[in-house]
Structure 1
Amino acid sequence: MIRQRSRHRLLDRVFRILFPALVLLLLNGCSSLGYYSQLGNGQIRLLQAREPIDRVIADPARDPKLRAHLAQAREARTFASAHLHLPDNQSYRLYADIGRPFVVWNVFATAEFSLAPQTHCFPIAGCVAYRGYYSQSAARGEAAMQRLRGMDVSIGGVEAYSTLGWFNDPILSSMLHWGDERLATLIFHELAHQRFYVKDDTEFNESFATFVEQEGTRQWRAQRGLAPDHGNKVRQREQFIRLILDTRQRLESLYALPLPAEQMRQRKAAEFERLRADYEHMRDTQWAGDKRYDAWVYAPLNNARLLPFGLYDQWVPAFAALFRREGEDWVRFYVAVEKLGRLAVDERKAALKELAASPTASLLTTRTSHLPSAPATASH
Structure 2
Amino acid sequence: MIRPHSSHRLLDRVFRFLFPGLLLLLLNGCSSAAYYSQLVDGQLRLLKAREPIDQVIAAPARDPALRAHLAQAREARTFASVHLHLPDNESYRLYADIGRPFVVWNVFATPEFSLAAQNHCFPIAGCVAYRGYYSQGAARGEAALQRLKGMDVAIGGVEAYSTLGWFNDPILSSMMHWGDERLATLIFHELAHQRFYVKDDTEFNESFATFVEQEGTRQWRASRGLAPDTGLRWRQSEQFIQLILDTRQRLEQLYAQPLPADQMRQRKALEFERLRADYRRLRDTQWAGDKRYDAWVYAPLNNARLLPFGLYTRWVPAFTALFKRVNGDWIAFYAEVEKLGRLPVDDRRAALKTLAESRPSMPPH
Q: Which TM-score band (shorter chain)? A: over 0.9
Identity %: 83
What are the residue-to-residue correspondences of 1:70-89 with 2, within 5 Å? 70-89=70-89
Counterpart of 1:14 in structure 2 is 14
- How many aligned residue pairs are there? 365
> What do you get for the CA RMSD once the two structures are aligned?
2.3
Mapped to 2, the partners of 1:9 and 1:60 lie a distance apart of 26
Q: What displacement does 1:3 show?
A: 7.7
CA contact (8 A) 2:114 2:255 kept: yes
**SS in structure 2 at match of 1:98:** coil
Letter in 2 for 1:11: L
Counterpart of 1:378 in structure 2 is none
Counterpart of 1:354 in structure 2 is 354
Mapped to 1, the partners of 2:347 and 2:203 lie a distance apart of 14
Counterpart of 1:256 in structure 2 is 256
Instruction: Indicate yes or no: 2:122 matched with 1:122.
Output: yes
Counterpart of 2:54 in structure 1 is 54
Letter in 1 for 2:40: G
Mapped to 2, the partners of 1:191 and 1:221 lie a distance apart of 18
Q: What displacement does 1:69 show?
A: 0.5
What are the residue-to-residue correspondences of 1:172-211 with 2, within 5 Å? 172-211=172-211
Deviations 1:327-361 (A, max 9, x none): 22211111111111111111112222222222436
What are the residue-to-residue correspondences of 1:31-110 with 2, within 5 Å? 32-110=32-110
What are the residue-to-residue correspondences of 1:314-333 with 2, within 5 Å? 314-333=314-333
Mapped to 2, the partners of 1:272 and 1:317 lie a distance apart of 28
CA contact (8 A) 2:105 2:134 kept: yes
Mapped to 2, the partners of 1:89 and 1:120 lie a distance apart of 29
Counterpart of 1:300 in structure 2 is 300
Letter in 1 for 2:84: L
Letter in 1 for 2:119: T
CA contact (8 A) 2:318 2:356 kept: yes
Counterpart of 2:131 in structure 1 is 131
Mapped to 2, the partners of 1:253 and 1:350 lie a distance apart of 24
Q: What displacement does 1:256 show?
A: 2.9
Mapped to 1, the partners of 2:240 and 2:331 lie a distance apart of 32
Q: What displacement does 1:85 show?
A: 0.9
Q: What displacement does 1:20 show?
A: 8.5
Q: 1:190 to 1:119 in 2, by over 3 A?
A: same
Letter in 2 for 1:344: P
CA contact (8 A) 1:93 1:170 kept: yes
Letter in 2 for 1:163: T
- List 4+ stretches of structure 1 deviating above 6 A: none
Q: What displacement does 1:186 show?
A: 0.7
Q: 1:31 to 1:189 in 2, by over 3 A?
A: farther
Instruction: Indicate yes or no: 2:197 matched with 1:158.
Output: no
TM-score by length of 2: 0.93
- Unaligned 5+ segments in structure 2 are none
Q: 1:361 to 1:286 in 2, by over 3 A?
A: closer
- Unaligned 5+ segments in structure 1 are 367-380
Letter in 2 for 1:210: T
Mapped to 1, the partners of 2:294 and 2:78 lie a distance apart of 37
**SS in structure 1 at match of 2:155:** strand
Letter in 2 for 1:93: R
Q: What displacement does 1:105 show?
A: 0.7
Letter in 1 for 2:290: D
Mapped to 1, the partners of 2:314 and 2:181 lie a distance apart of 23
Q: What displacement does 1:28 show?
A: 4.9
Q: Which moved more, 1:121-130 or 1:313-322?
A: 313-322
Q: What displacement does 1:104 show?
A: 0.6
Letter in 2 for 1:14: V
TM-score by length of 1: 0.90
